[in-house]
A and B are shown apart, each in its own frame.
Chain A
Amino acid sequence: AQKVTQAQTEISVVEKEDVTLDCVYETRDTTYYLFWYKQPPSGELVFLIRRNSFDEQNEISGRYSWNFQKSTSSFNFTITASQVVDSAVYFCALTGGNTGNQFYFGTGTSLTVIP
C-alpha cells in the first residue's frame, strides 16, 4: 500500500531555531517520487522539492535541507534558522511510477514560528 505518515501534527519553535519535519513513507513501487509542499494560510500548495527513488543524495537549498534515507523509508525536511514567514502547514507526498499516478499526501505538520 502507498502511505505517507507525518507523525508531528503541530510544532512551535522560536525564531532562529532549527526545526526538522519528519516524513515516513510506504510503497510497493521500485520507482517512486517524494515531494514536500508548503501550504500557507492562503491555501495554495507551494512546491518545495521533488526526489526520485534512485537519488538518495541529500539536498540543500538556502535554509532548507532534505534527508532522504531509503533504509528507513524517510524523507525528512529541516529548516535552519527559522523565520516567521516559515509558519505554514507542510505536506510530504508520494507518487509511484508503477501503481498509478495519484499523489498520496501525509496529514501535514503545522509549523508555527514565534517571533
Chain B
Amino acid sequence: EPEVTQTPSHQVTQMGQEVILRCVPISNHLYFYWYRQILGQKVEFLVSFYNNEISEKSEIFDDQFSVERPDGSNFTLKIRSTKLEDSAMYFCASRGTGFGGYTFGSGTRLTVV
C-alpha cells in the first residue's frame, strides 16, 4: 500500500536554529498538508499546499514557517528560528482528488533544546 514517508523520525535542534522536515507524499497525490501535535494535545492543521502554492494556513503558521515542493517528489516544512514551543510531532499528509486516499505519514518528532 502506498505510504507517505517522513524523515527524520526524530530530530533534536538547538533553539534559534533552522530546521527542515522532509516528506515524500504518495506519487500521484495533488494536495499536501502539514499538521502539528504538541505532546499530549490534539493534532492541529498548519498548512495545505496545492498547485505549487499555499491554499490554506492556520494561525499557527506564522512567518517562521514555510513550505516548499522543491522537486516532483519532496514536500518540506522549514522552521527558520526554532523556539522551545515548536517541540512537537509534525505530520505530513497527502491526498488525491478525493478524500478517500487522505494519508498521514508516521511523523517527525522535533525536540528543541
Contacts and interface: CB of A to CB of B under 8 A. Distances in A.
A107 B42 contact: yes
A101 B99 contact: yes
Nearest to A37: B104
Interface residues of B, number: 24
Interface in B80-113: 89, 91, 93, 95, 99-100, 102-104, 106-107, 109
B33 interface: yes
Contact of A45 (B45, B56, B91, B99): B91
A50 interface: yes
Contacts of B45: 102-104
A106 B91 contact: no
Contact of A102 (B56, B104, B109): B56
B48 interface: yes
A22 B45 CA distance: 22
A77 interface: no
- If over half of B's interface residues share one DSSP class (helix, strand or loop), that class is named, otherwise mixed; here it is strand
B109 A33 contact: no
B44 interface: yes
B31 interface: yes
Contact of A107 (B33, B41, B55, B58): B41
B43 A103 contact: yes
B43 A102 contact: no
Interface in B37-56: 41-45, 48, 55-56
B99 A33 contact: yes
16 contacts: A37-B104, A43-B109, A44-B106, A44-B107, A45-B43, A45-B107, A50-B100, A93-B43, A95-B99, A100-B48, A101-B55, A101-B95, A103-B33, A103-B45, A105-B42, A108-B42
